[in-house]
A and B are shown apart, each in its own frame.
Chain A
Amino acid sequence: VNRPAWHDPGPKTVLGKTGRFDGSEVLDILLARDETAEFVAGKLWREFVSSSPDAVEVRRLGAVFRDAKYEVKPVMRALLLSEAFWAPENRGALVKSPVELVVGMLRVFDVRPMDLRAAAIVCAVLGQNPFAPPNVKGWPGGEAWINSATLLGRKQAVERLLRNDDRAAPQAMPAMDMRAPAGSREERLRRAMERGLAAYQVDWARWTRAAPEGEKLQHLLLALEPAHEIPAAATGPERARRLAGDPVFQLK
């Protein structure tokens, strides 16, 4: 809806250029600058490589992005083929976001949920309510994902999902308790997470048939050597549980 009366049509100065710009002309001014592509390249770096972007590389990737007329594929290709992406010191250097952790677990342990509501609630408890960032700036990400509350929440989610019990997996979400529960919003969410995770279950028999063992299992689950030693006696599902309980499981 265009409401001309709500607009100020007077001349404006944007980054040194003055004129009567409309919205897309302002975007053109932004896109004409190197910083715009470098800003995006820096964000990609923090998502895929490390939390400390290399200024020279970010300039190079920014140029690739801009030269390709802001096509995403070329800059992703350049990023994923860069030496930094493959450098050993950048392995496991980033903290998984709650969505990466939860979806990653469901996939790697081959959980096939009927209903993703519980997964969304887990993400919310861990600080990432899907599609609802705290503000226009988005989630701060990186190490800010981890504080004492969210770290214990992550570990609890891992433990609950990978629990060892023989009950048949329920087919759907258990009925929500409709009584007004006591406690703060955080507490109610946390209880909803615990209830919801009860609906998810790893089929350990199926998983064991397909799962790798030893070294390969570790490489499947962890980006780095575990921080704590896993006893050799722990095998199969028990080994998987211990690897997923290791702090390194929080990294990507």
Chain B
Amino acid sequence: LNNETKSWMALEDIEARVRALESLLVEKGFAEHEAVDAVVSAFENDMGPINGAKVVARAWTDPEYKKWLLEDATAAIADMGFTGLQSEHFLAVENTDDRHNMIVCTLCSCYPWTLLGIPPAWFKYPQYRARAVEEPRDVLREFGVELDEKVKIDVWDSSAEIRYLVIPKRPEGTDGMSVDELAKLVSREAMTGVALADSP
């Protein structure tokens, strides 16, 4: 049994109820079908991990920008244009040879929408949220990440309105790669700390 195969309501019943809710909200003037279409489309097409990857790739190649990002992530990320709902206040944390960061929201699923898109299912369901704060190393192993024993883990529980960005370590063998090429190595998993940046 798990949340993937089981649901309190049948999926078609949820769909029917969401459809009813939307039509009533439209009638009461709190929504409009076209506006809902536009918002879904924006989440699916305009926002997503490529935005965060551009920030990371710039930080990897521009030491001044990385310094700014670590000191004032809100301003440094806004400089790239990635402000917005659930992306109003940021803290950037950097992975190094002896430190690995991972992000969780134990109370709900707080996540920087504009910068990284809609959170992936593993971030939203209770399994990861329960365990990341107590057995982070085990959770990382489930994601295929085995850290050296000397690497200390910092877990960040986003319990208020600050959103987090992990700056993964720049992989070996990427000298001379362009910012655009580097950005392709940065997954949303790497920016939440359950993966390393991909190798070229």
- On whether the two chains bind one another, the answer is no
